[in-house]
Structure 1
Amino acid sequence: MEHTPTIRSKIETELKQRGYTFSSFSKISGINRGTFSTMLNSNPPKPISVRQMDLITKALGYPEGWLYELYIDECFYEGKGHWKRIKPFLMRCVELGRKDCIRRVLSRLTEDLSYVSTVFEFAEELHEAGKEKEAIPFYECVVENERYHHSERLAISQFRLFSCSLNKDLENNRQQAIKFAPYRKNLPESHQLDALLKLANVYYQVDDCETTIRYTRELEVIATNIYQQQIQARLRKREVKPLNTERHLIVYYGQAYLTQGNAYEKQGLYKKAMEFIPYYANLTDFEGLDEVGMLEARKFEMWAEANRLNLEILMGDMTNLPAYVELIRNNPQEILLGLLTILESANTYNYMIDEYLILFGENINEFRDLRTNISYYKTNYNLANYSRFFLELSRYYFNKGNYSEAIDCMLNSLKATSQLNDKAYYIKSITLLFEKYKDHSTHEQRTEYEKVIKAVENNIKEMTF
């Protein structure tokens, strides 16, 4: 029968092969000779700490994490989990990316379900330290082993996993939102604010306006309730407890109304969308604003003015188009959406906007690179806007008879779409425009078209498996 090596037998073998005594190894490792002796020779032997294991590893010249797979037994000495040894070991495994050891420790640890709460607390500690991705296996462990379906701990773990799962793949985001949504009401109110804002954003991006509105209404109710509670606390001279949220309360309050309006705008209900602007236009009067809150309130003021002009233009009122152009020029982050509004209106009401395309020519050229930035929502909404922008720009050029430029814009729209895995835009873009005007395309454009189509089709195939 083959003998299974233990962590102590491996260390003893190394010492013998290199001719070390306890005394000589103590000097190079920094571990007290007596302590080192009790680790190997006492009966029972003294447990080895992960710090001591790392000192032994360094002294023997092995890479960090040597014998970690054997060290797991040290964490469960005499068959019991010892959190004082397990926690430092898990932290080192996180630092070294030893997911294999993490999985094995969690599997053994949760044989006793009383440790689920401890695992959750460890995951939250990682999250607070900014190690969101590293915390994922621990939240997954909680989800797999939590006994109570309506527990707050389970809801928070599901929320953390949902937040980490968001990316530029809109279909992925929608599926993750469907999976998480049933847990939202079991979250603490502060977490509900973050969860509802992210849920609303996901559904807004996939053009599910009805669901977007449902979640923004929930957000409106909770944000308003919390705000009223804070007002009452101040009136009664009570302490206003700080919210454990990712953003300032004013952001959730304002976004509840702004996003509802945007969802109605997306449906072409411009007059209905206009009704929401007064609710976030003057938030500088919001009670309890600190410096950050005041900055957020001023953002909403700017967005309110931009959205008012935006809706007027979409309804065909071009009176304030110069003012709108000036506003987006002064707020570069609004240029993409601002130009999209102008293009949609120009295509709907058939007027020329060449002067504005020239004015923003440098910006449009930058858009062609499809540069993206990960947003607060952990998604890449710019890609969806690039797709829409170049689709509208191609329509504008097609209407003018500028086929070469129109097809180039069409290809830019498809490139953005292919990165989004957005089948709806794929069908819309191909069937309505390129196929209609392909006889006007060059050989190079048709080659590029086929290349992008393959990328889109491959993404769709991956989504079906």
Structure 2
Amino acid sequence: MPVVNRSLRWEIEDQMKLHGYNINQLAELTGINPGNLSMALNGISRSMTINQLDALGKLFGKVPGWLYELYTEECISEEKLSRPRLVPYLVRCAEVGRNDCIDAVVSRILESPKNVNIIFSAAEKLFHKGKHKESERLYEDVVSAVKDSFSEMLSMSHYRLFAISIQSTDAEKNWKAVIRFDPFRNRLPENHQLDALFQLARVCFSLKKWSEVEEYASELEVLSTTLCSEEKLVPKRHPVYYYGMGLLYKAAIAEERGLYELSKKYVHIYANLEWSEPLDESGQKEVKQFEIWGKANLYTLEVLSGNEGIINEYADYLASLNRLNDVVMGLIAIMKSANT
């Protein structure tokens, strides 16, 4: 019996015969343009897309990822790589768990280091689709392949890996993520730097790494005011939020160290935030939120400082809140002060 070399088109034609479909029926049932489908199956000028292959596989009752190991012939030839084919192919391989195909294709792509941006693009698409775990291995491939330590693609890959890692509740893992990402924080595109510093400060605060929190908080203050005038930058939140958070973290650290008067100074500043430019609606909302936090935290600091005369007023304030967590934290502050 003769041995048939498997190919994408041979497998599809075999399924067409098995199900009794001609090209027009196949096109109608899958929603693929008949002309495009005909050219794709006959190898005339147009390659098959991964979405078309998925549509065919679904019609034939195949599992997701069907024939993906053969799809590389649509993406890579001896002469060149097809970026428009490879990026969605890598994305789909990651989504359906065809890691064997990813490994095979990545090794081919990285035969020329300049093509690493294909892998990065696929990782970014996965990340923005919320497929963080699936994007992780591709970002790791980028980190391994890029040798220029000041490459924006390298710094962004480290930032994404940091963001993925800190979703864990494992303190040791989160600290390792901070250490790994820290050298790249100032090499990020400017519109990502503020949120990166905030996340570093947030994680280190949860880990009680006060010196690191203080460093990142100071950088937040400076950078938020430096970048606020650059209209092209679009951080996740208004720059005034990051400025306020820098002050809030400094106040929190001073409180942790028992420096209540110093903490009050920081709280007074973020509770009455002033900005160098007129604030839009989002900026005004941020300022209002810091005003609310500031009022609650000043009550806490007064109690911790031993101001017994304010306890009834503070208790009334806590009773007016609808946020259970804030009430609990306030009661803890009163108990702590009483015990002291």
Tell me if both proteins adopt one fold, taking TM over 0.5 as the criterion.
yes
Structure 1 partner of 2:81: 81
2:208 is paired with a residue whose SS is coil
Structure 1 partner of 2:108: 108
Change (3 A) 1:344 1:101: farther
Identity %: 38
Query: Quick one: distance in 2 between partners of 1:27 and 1:190?
Result: 46
Structure 1 partner of 2:189: 188
Structure 1 partner of 2:278: 288
Kindly indicate whether residue 65 of structure 2 is the aligned counterpart of residue 65 of structure 1. yes
Q: Is the 8 A contact 2:143 2:157 kept in 1?
A: yes
Query: Quick one: distance in 2 between partners of 1:264 and 1:313?
Result: 15
CA-to-partner distance for each residue in 1:344-368, whole Å, 9 max, x for gaps? 21222xxxxxxxxxxxxxxxxxxxx
Q: Is the 8 A contact 1:170 1:202 kept in 2?
A: no
Unpaired runs of 5+ residues, structure 1, are 231-239, 349-465
Kindly indicate whether residue 264 of structure 2 is the aligned counterpart of residue 274 of structure 1. yes
- With structure 1 as the length reference, what TM-score do the two structures score? 0.65
- Map 1:274-423 onto structure 2 (within 5 A): 274-283=264-273, 287-331=277-321, 332=323, 333-348=325-340
* Alignment-mate amino acid for residue 295 of structure 1: K
Structure 2 partner of 1:212: 213
Q: Is the 8 A contact 1:103 1:137 kept in 2?
A: no
* Alignment-mate amino acid for residue 222 of structure 1: L
2:266 is paired with a residue whose SS is coil
Q: Is the 8 A contact 2:240 2:275 kept in 1?
A: no
Q: Is the 8 A contact 2:162 2:178 kept in 1?
A: yes
2:308 is paired with a residue whose SS is coil
2:66 is paired with a residue whose SS is coil
Kindly indicate whether residue 160 of structure 2 is the aligned counterpart of residue 160 of structure 1. yes
* Alignment-mate amino acid for residue 154 of structure 2: L
* Alignment-mate amino acid for residue 318 of structure 1: E
Of the structure 1 ranges 119-128 and 172-181, higher mean CA displacement relative to structure 2 is found in 119-128
Change (3 A) 1:294 1:79: same
CA-to-partner distance for each residue in 1:149-172, whole Å, 9 max, x for gaps? 122221121111101211222222
Deviation at 1:309, TM superposition (A): 1.7
Deviation at 1:285, TM superposition (A): 5.5
Kindly indicate whether residue 261 of structure 2 is the aligned counterpart of residue 260 of structure 1. no
* Alignment-mate amino acid for residue 59 of structure 1: L
Of the structure 1 ranges 106-115 and 201-210, higher mean CA displacement relative to structure 2 is found in 106-115
Deviation at 1:126, TM superposition (A): 4.3
Q: Is the 8 A contact 1:146 1:154 kept in 2?
A: yes
Query: Quick one: distance in 1 between partners of 2:327 and 2:215?
Result: 29
Deviation at 1:36, TM superposition (A): 5.1
Q: Is the 8 A contact 1:264 1:270 kept in 2?
A: yes
2:156 is paired with a residue whose SS is helix
Deviation at 1:313, TM superposition (A): 1.2
CA-to-partner distance for each residue in 1:393-436, whole Å, 9 max, x for gaps? xxxxxxxxxxxxxxxxxxxxxxxxxxxxxxxxxxxxxxxxxxxx
Kindly indicate whether residue 246 of structure 2 is the aligned counterpart of residue 245 of structure 1. no
Query: Quick one: distance in 1 between partners of 2:28 and 2:208?
Result: 67
Of the structure 1 ranges 271-280 and 3-12, higher mean CA displacement relative to structure 2 is found in 3-12
Of the structure 1 ranges 98-107 and 154-163, higher mean CA displacement relative to structure 2 is found in 98-107
* Alignment-mate amino acid for residue 260 of structure 1: K
- With structure 2 as the length reference, what TM-score do the two structures score? 0.86
Deviation at 1:136, TM superposition (A): 2.7
- Map 1:124-203 onto structure 2 (within 5 A): 124-166=124-166, 167-203=168-204
Change (3 A) 1:23 1:152: closer
Query: Quick one: distance in 1 between partners of 2:85 and 2:280?
Result: 43
Deviation at 1:93, TM superposition (A): 3.4
2:57 is paired with a residue whose SS is helix
Q: Is the 8 A contact 1:162 1:177 kept in 2?
A: yes
Query: Quick one: distance in 1 between partners of 2:141 and 2:191?
Result: 24
Of the structure 1 ranges 276-285 and 181-190, higher mean CA displacement relative to structure 2 is found in 276-285
* Alignment-mate amino acid for residue 155 of structure 1: S
* Alignment-mate amino acid for residue 177 of structure 2: Q
Change (3 A) 1:73 1:317: same
Query: Quick one: distance in 2 between partners of 1:272 and 1:214?
Result: 17
1:344 is paired with a residue whose SS is helix
Q: Is the 8 A contact 2:120 2:139 kept in 1?
A: yes
Unpaired runs of 5+ residues, structure 2, are none
CA-to-partner distance for each residue in 1:127-163, whole Å, 9 max, x for gaps? 4455544433332222121120122221121111101
Deviation at 1:292, TM superposition (A): 1.8
* Alignment-mate amino acid for residue 337 of structure 2: S
CA-to-partner distance for each residue in 1:188-225, whole Å, 9 max, x for gaps? 33322111111112121111212211111122221232
Deviation at 1:65, TM superposition (A): 2.4
CA-to-partner distance for each residue in 1:307-332, whole Å, 9 max, x for gaps? 22211211222211122223333331
Change (3 A) 1:335 1:97: farther
* Alignment-mate amino acid for residue 8 of structure 1: R
